[in-house]
Amino acid sequence: MMPEKFLVIGGDGAIGSAIAHFLARNGDTVRFTSRRVSLAPAFLPLDLSSPDFCVDSHPQLRAFLEDDPPLVFFAAAVTGFAQCASDPVSSRMVNVLGTCRIAGELMRRGAFVVFPSSNAVFSGKCAAPTESSSPDPVSEYGRQKAEAEAQLLALADSLKCGGLAVVRLTKVLSSGSGLVGRWIADLRAGHPIQAARNLSLAPLSLSFVAEQLVRLAQARQAGILHLSGEKGLSYLAFAQLLCRTLARPLDLVSPIEVRGESGVVAAPVHSVLDMAQTTRRTGVRPQGWPDVVKDLLQFDARENQG
């Protein structure tokens, strides 16, 4: 297969960094963007919250887009539920307005765009929504993702160039950051942790997500796609799985109850996404929790050795 060109918008974030790590194995040409100007020149400066930014005003980006249009990953986003709820105007500038404007520019230049979305576009009240299910978000973050999906899909339908894949993800876990990363570090050290028994997740490992996003982009799989954990389980059950795999005593994990709200969003009853249509189209299947745990602990072991 001939090497390809890739552009990762938000290459310094969790998903963007994981995509970079995966692409580093091949001979592909990759450029990354970041809103942090201190990362230049390794990262091209691009701030989705800036209404003045456009591709034509950025010589390096414009030059990279010439000749063969790249495969583009929109990994830059405000992903915190609390942050989106507390500052809906600024977060919408990034998650909807800036994303749709720049993605539109890139698609008009022939780029194929991958837009990672979220199961937060669904309320979690119904089990396993499909790729064709109508969004019914209950959080500000979910509403922004659903709005961006709708605008991008409409734009892609109106264009005769480029292409778009909206890829909805269930909970993406990393051992290097976040709640699960802290759990792993605490359990390895023999410290107790707390986990909710009435909050569910359908876990995906960050490495799995990065690999599948790249493969879906390379195949130019357009439309709405789902990447989901195979089944939903409580945070408590997942914490206990980690504990057993690490050969730590189960009494290190204490159950807690999430009453009504988890931060600022109602705790979903269901977290799994149906992947039947995606599997028929691409062959990609839901990720089972044993593989999630294996990926998390293998990554964690590499980081500790490094």
Between CA 140 and CA 264 the distance in angstroms is 9
Under DSSP, is residue 1 helix (H, G, I), strand (E, B) or coil? coil
Question: Alpha-carbon dihedral of residues 45, 47, 48, 53, nearest 10 degrees?
Answer: -80
Under DSSP, is residue 133 helix (H, G, I), strand (E, B) or coil? coil
For domain 5-170+205-229+273-287, the question of CATH label 3.40.50.720 is answered with yes
Between CA 140 and CA 133 the distance in angstroms is 19
Q: What angle do CA 92, 94, 95 make, to 5 degrees?
A: 65
Per-residue pLDDT of the chain (306 residues; tens, 9 = 90+): 556 899 999 999 999 999 988 988 777 789 999 998 888 788 888 999 998 888 888 888 888 888 889 999 999 999 888 899 999 999 999 999 999 999 999 999 999 999 999 999 999 999 999 999 999 999 999 999 999 999 999 999 999 888 999 999 999 999 888 899 999 999 999 999 999 998 889 999 999 999 999 999 999 999 999 999 999 999 999 999 999 999 999 999 999 987 654 444 556 778 999 999 999 999 999 999 999 999 999 865 555 544
Within the chain, residue ranges assigned H as helices are 14-23, 59-65, 81-86, 88-92, 99-108, 140-158, 178-188, 206-218, 235-245, 276-282, 289-305
Residue holding tokens 């692409």? 23
Between CA 245 and CA 232 the distance in angstroms is 19
> Taking each helix axis from N to C terminus, what angle separates 140-158 and 99-108, rounded to the nearest 10 degrees?
20
Tokens of 63: 């030059």
Under DSSP, is residue 90 helix (H, G, I), strand (E, B) or coil? helix
Residue holding tokens 């914490």? 239
Between CA 181 and CA 263 the distance in angstroms is 19
DSSP string of 167-192, one letter each residue:
EEE--EE-TTSHHHHHHHHHHHTT--
Between CA 284 and CA 216 the distance in angstroms is 9
Q: For 71, phi and psi rounded to 5 degrees?
A: -90, 130
Tokens of 151: 């605008």
Specify burial of residue 189 (Cβ count, 10 A radius: 0-12, 13-18, 19+).
exposed
Tokens of 281: 């189209």
CB 275 within 8 A of CB 285: yes
